[in-house]
Amino acid sequence: MNDNKNETIGLVAGTASTQEHFHIDATAIEQIGALSLAASSVQEIGGTTHLVIPNEHKHIDLTTAIERAGTAPRRKSGTVQLGDIHSFNVFVADQGVTSDVYIYADPEARTLTAVLNDHVKSGSTAGWRDLRAVFKAELSREFATWMSFNKKPMEQEEFAIFLEDNIADVVEPSGETLLQVALTLQAKTEVNFASHRRLDNGQVQFTYNETIDARAGTGLIEIPREFTIGARLFKNGDGYKVRARLKYRLLSGKVKFWYELDRAENAIEDAFQAYINQARENGFSVLIGKP
């Protein structure tokens, strides 16, 4: 009798234990079921692959992973930076189809951006607009130097050193002529300039006083009123001539010099317009603006 009673008690206890254990597993089984359902709910949307997952779980876009596992991308994408206009034109001609390409020219930023899969009027669907080639026309090192000192007053010696350092870019008058001016200015930094006047030959004549070995003397320096530099405006670009007007200020026996490039921005715009024209010669539509 006691044995049966003990057996009955053990059965009840075992049942309670089983029920408690089953309650814990039910939550886990529910989560496993939801995840299993999500794993089987793969959807293709516009060429992208997604998993439909329950709340409180992370959404994963498998498109890139699946594409990388393949032998090749599904389509072309990316942005290529080109270093000169020739490389830009070659790449666009090789990779682009005339009817699918717009080239956007931005004169302010001096960039050409080709969108090789743009929206096109003849197309029945929209373009992805994510395959691009970009060329930025950057100022050459030499012309950037002339631009950075443009209209900047300099002391006599500083100006002389600047001319000497950049004399290779001077084409009119000859570099030798302007170099001699630079050397003379360097040698006469301790003199007092008394007057100046413009000569008929297009130069400015400065009269100066100096004392050597306790003896006073007077001398003359002639400096051209304008000169011309010949330099590439853009890196890997063609050379241009830009005129510069020489300016000066005489005060208390000392002279400050500077130069003013004649419409340098116009020269830059003309050089960039030449790049636009080259892009159009390839047969592509070139628009002024940004993509």
Q: Assign 3-class secondary structure to the chain.
A: CHHHHHHHHHHHHHHHHHHHHHHHHHHHHHHHHHHHHHHCCEEEECCEEEECCCCCCCCCECHHHHHHHCCCCCCCCEEEEECCHHHHHHHHHHHCCHHHCEEEEECCCCEEEEECCCCCCCCCCCCCCCEEEEEECCECHHHHHHHHCCCCCEEHHHHHHHHHHCHHHEEECCHHHHHHHHHHHHHCCCCEEEEEEECCCCEEEEEEEEEECCEEEEEEEEEECEEEEEEECECCCCEEEEEEEEEEEEECCEEEEEEEECCHHHHHHHHHHHHHHHHHHCCCEEEECCC
Q: Residue 56: pLDDT band by 50, 70, 90 thresholds?
A: low
pLDDT level of residue 73 (50, 70, 90 thresholds): confident
Residues 281-286 have a mean pLDDT of 92
Is the pLDDT score of 90 beyond 90?
yes
pLDDT of residue 140: 97
Pair 178, 168: CB distance under 8 Å: no
Beta-bridged to residue 246, according to DSSP, are 259
| Residue 124's pLDDT band (cuts 50, 70, 90) | confident
Residue 44 CA to residue 50 CA, distance in Å, equals 7
Give the residue, 291 or 250, on which the prediction is more confident. 291
Q: How far is CA 239 from CA 38, 123, 140, in A?
A: 65, 41, 10
Q: State the pLDDT at residue 267.
A: 95
pLDDT digits (tens, 9 = 90+) for 208-243: 777 554 445 577 778 888 999 999 999 999 999 999
Residue range 150-172: mean pLDDT, rounded: 91
Which of the two residues, 70 and 25, has the higher pLDDT score? 70
Contact (CB, 8 A) for 119 and 143: no
CB of 262 closer than 8 Å to CB of 151 = no
Higher-pLDDT residue of 3, 194 = 194
pLDDT band, very low/low/confident/very high, at 144 (cuts 50, 70, 90): very high
**Residue 171 or 124, more confident:** 171
